[in-house]
């Protein structure tokens, strides 16, 4: 398959630094990009966000321990995209030019870790099966806090009753359309087909964590899982 076509088909054109070339940072890149700030925020997220800590723990227990130097990459990205998961290289990409606040970084790291977690525990065919892609996007939008009431307010999406679900559908749709060349109708159909199943898959949280406190409770439950299942 032609390299350029492949890049366009799978959304790689949003991540221009993913092209094969040397990864070593030049002095100019170190000084004039947000790379260092991204690294600092990433570190903080991995160490303090209960969402990220639970996902990292669950992945480690599934045999996919994530190392900062190997599995995370801070890069400049096109457009307004905040991050991505590259299944081909098993890396989480963080868009250093588009993520400037710690809360946003926490959310992006959580979102991409959910994709990595799905990649680790299931046979996800990222490139050819749109249902799998849609499912992971639904889960990521649902469980990462992307669709919290306050986040939706900042996007001027005002809604209350069951709005969370509407948001999850919409964001999953947008994510698919951003990285694959299919029609909106086709994407909507696929999201509809898998929505009920994927919206109710809360692994590894065991709930939809709506707040830091709920995420901490989910962490507690996860740490306690051996005792829990042994005594059911």
Partner 1 sequence: MEGSKVTTWRTPRMCDDYWSEFKLCKSISNYFHHYYTYGTSPSCQQWKEDYYHCREWEKHGSTEAKEALQKSERKRVAEQRNFTPVWELRREPPRDWHLPLDQEGPQDS
Which residues are known catalytic residues?
112
Q: Among candidates 221, 211, 226, which has minimal Cα distance to 54?
A: 221
Long-range contacts, 186-191 (Cβ 8 Å, 24+) = 187/130, 187/134, 190/130, 190/131, 190/134, 191/134, 191/138
Give dist(CA 35, CA 28) in Å, integer.
Answer: 11
Q: Which helix (H) or strand (E) holds 92?
A: strand 91-95
Exactly one of 2, 21, 23, 183 binds partner 1 (CB under 8 A); that residue is 23
**Nearest distance, CB of residue 13 and partner 1, angstroms:** 17
User: Quick count: other Cβ atoms within 10 Å of Cβ 34?
Assistant: 16
Which positions from 49 to 88 touch partner 1 by CB under 8 A, shown as an x/- string? -------------xxx-----x----------------xx
Q: Does 201 bind partner 1 (CB under 8 A)?
A: yes
Contact set for partner 1, span 123-162 (CB under 8 A): 123-127, 131-132, 135, 149, 160-162
Among 26, 29, 48, 224, binds partner 1 (CB under 8 A): 224
Distance CA 205, CA 29 (A): 38
Residues lying near partner 1 in the complex (CB under 8 A): 23, 62-64, 70, 87-91, 118-127, 131-132, 135, 149, 160-165, 194, 196-198, 200-202, 206, 208, 210-211, 213-214, 217, 220-221, 224, 227-232
């Amino acid at each position: 398959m032609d390299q350029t076509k492949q890049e366009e088909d799978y959304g790689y054109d949003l991540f221009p630094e993913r092209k094969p070339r040397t990864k070593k940072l030049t002095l100019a890149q170190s000084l004039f990009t947000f790379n260092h700030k991204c690294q600092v925020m990433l570190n903080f997220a991995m160490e303090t966000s209960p969402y990220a800590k639970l996902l990292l723990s669950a992945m480690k227990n599934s045999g996919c321990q994530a190392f900062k130097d190997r599995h995370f990459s801070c890069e400049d990205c096109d457009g307004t995209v905040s991050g991505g998961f590259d299944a081909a290289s098993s890396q989480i990409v963080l868009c250093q030019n588009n993520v400037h606040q710690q809360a946003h970084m926490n959310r992006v790291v959580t979102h991409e870790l959910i994709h990595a977690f799905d990649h680790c525990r299931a046979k996800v065919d990222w490139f050819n099966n749109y249902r799998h892609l849609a499912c992971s996007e639904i889960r990521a939008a649902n469980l990462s806090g992307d669709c919290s009431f306050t986040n939706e307010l900042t996007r001027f999406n005002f809604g209350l009753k069951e709005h969370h679900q509407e948001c999850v559908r919409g964001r999953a749709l947008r994510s698919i359309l951003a990285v694959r060349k299919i029609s909106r109708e086709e994407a909507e159909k696929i999201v509809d087909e898998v929505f009920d199943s994927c919206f109710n898959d809360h692994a590894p949280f065991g709930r939809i964590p709506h707040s830091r406190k709920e995420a901490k409770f989910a962490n507690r439950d996860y740490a306690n899982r051996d005792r829990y299942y042994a005594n059911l």
